[in-house]
Structure 1
Amino acid sequence: MAKQRLSVVVTRRLPEVVEARLAELFDVKLRESDTAMTRQELQQAVKECDVLVPTITDQIDNALISQASGRLKLIANYGAGVDHIDTETARQQGIMVSNTPGVVTEDTADMTMALLLAMTRRMPEGIAKMQNSEWEGWSPTALLGGRISGRRLGILGMGRIGQAVARRANAFGMQVHYHNRRRLRGETEEELKATYWESLDQMVARMDVISINCPHTPSTFHLMNARRLKLLKPDAVIVNTSRGEVIDENALTRMLRAGEIKGAALDVYERGAEINPRLRELDNVVLLPHMGSATVEGRIEMGEKVIINIKTFDDGHRPPDQVVPSML
């Protein structure tokens, strides 16, 4: 007798090749429109499937998980971050959670450097002049930015992405510094030419550029709060390609408006797509719509990891990328 196929619900549109493979392997319900599920749709989904494949736009909280039927056994997240999933409640309900670590490392590090360069070399202003037909020719004093070679880069969070940023920064001639929950091994520090700071306050006060590359957890929420932001040098730049909640966005906006920080380049925001309108108005910011992992290759690899996690679970084994609350 043939084994019954797992019932899988996918909450967002995924690359076609990923959806096709999911349909080959499982009894899958795919999303027809590229919009986030409503709360009611999520509630229905957790009641009818064996495996839920959510993304960062879905809040899989205590109340939602508590409504799941005994059928739901795996939440196979499409993405590395799981701060939108109540992993502890899932564990208590006997539901495994998996994610897709490592896939977005190089793409996000590339975007970090792109934002750093865009901010320090005033690229958005140059693009705007060209698009608005305002450029009247080269001038020795027009749109003068800053050279990044020799500048101090302070990396907040030295995991996979932070280390990838450090390698790129070294190639640009920057001085690499970092703060992390745990200090790296000596040979890794030597390879990355990275200087460790036990005190985050002391590090941020001395850097020319701060790059946020740590996850959002209860301990990192508003890690860059108003008090710590005030420690930054007036000519410092802050770049965030990690999670918006790590920075107090209102405090950052106030300081940027007052000229107390030179600039910010952001790909993520504290309240998702609800960006502070005062932040949008500023000339000393570069804002992107969460594009850090947006490469065709990365999104397909992410889907492949989801499929491996589900298939391994279906075969009676623990998903290779299972998330355990104590890991966070």
Structure 2
Amino acid sequence: MDLVPFDRNKKDKFLTLNAEQQALAHISTAVIGAGNVNNYTRTNGRLRVNPEESNVISSRNAGRIEQLYVKETGTSIRKGQALFKGYSEQLLTLQQELLMTHKQAEQFTSDTRFQDIFEAAKQKLLLYGQTQQQLSSLLRSGKASPYITFYAPSSGVVSELLITEGQYVAEGDALLRLEGYHSMWVEADIYPREASLVKEGQKLTVFANGNTEQPLQMEVQFISPAYQESTQLLQLRGTIANPDNKLQAGMPATILLPQTSSIESLSVPSNAIIRSGKSSHVWIALGKEKFEPRIVETGAEAFDRTAITSGLKAGDNVVISGAYLLYSEYVLKKGGVVN
């Protein structure tokens, strides 16, 4: 990109760009001042499904899977959605018991024992997974049926489907698993010296899947008290919100662990610093159209800012975007690197 004519024979280190050229180069500046820069160390982690949002649906009674309404994994399920229809002689017997005790309770209204027996029969069916609506419909119709529809107790995504149509199941058999993704676990392996820098309940910054532009806040919930087998590592775990379900299990994550207390220092955005060879420099705006490289020494680095220990002073107007393009233009026109 030809920004501005430049004479190689000139010893001046600055570049001159008019307003239009600056707009094309997407150059922006900011006046720097003193502030706190936190020193962090990065550790790699991974995202896991939060088991608190998982729900294993098991058979409450023995019977046969008559019809499946969900036939593949990855299907999104709403709470209250029909999952399958089953055939169960045991439930048929309990329904008949409910109808009989209901008639007795209505006939002998003065005897509370019959009402108690009716409530106990109703409670049995509720414990077997029947809903209040299903029981009300049964009492209205007065007809028991061995075919019962079972509904999802929570929303989620089907991650495991362990049954097929026509299959007989025993009481307690796992049928399917629903997983929710409104929050995710973040797990990381850390060294004991790193574990001393964090504590349960502390907030840490996390980048998921290499996306450094959208930092997430994780609350530390667990630090293992013992080394993992055959290692010198401890496990750190926390939870991050996932309201849009964009995060997925297995994604890599980067966790920023505080290494020292914050340091009062001049700092600039990390992408404003150009590192070439053994030196680092930033670009300073000397006026509306003049830009000059300035050699600097850097200190502590946070995830998005770097402390400057020498080379700048408070009030300098530093180029915070477009610095690499200025440097490329300088090398092209001047025929050398900044030193």
Q: Tell me the TM-score normalized by structure 2.
A: 0.18
Normalized per residue, the structure richer in helix is 1
Structure with the bigger RCO (C-alpha within 8 Å, sep 6+) is: 2
Q: Tell me the TM-score normalized by structure 1.
A: 0.18
Q: Which has the larger radius of gyration?
A: 2
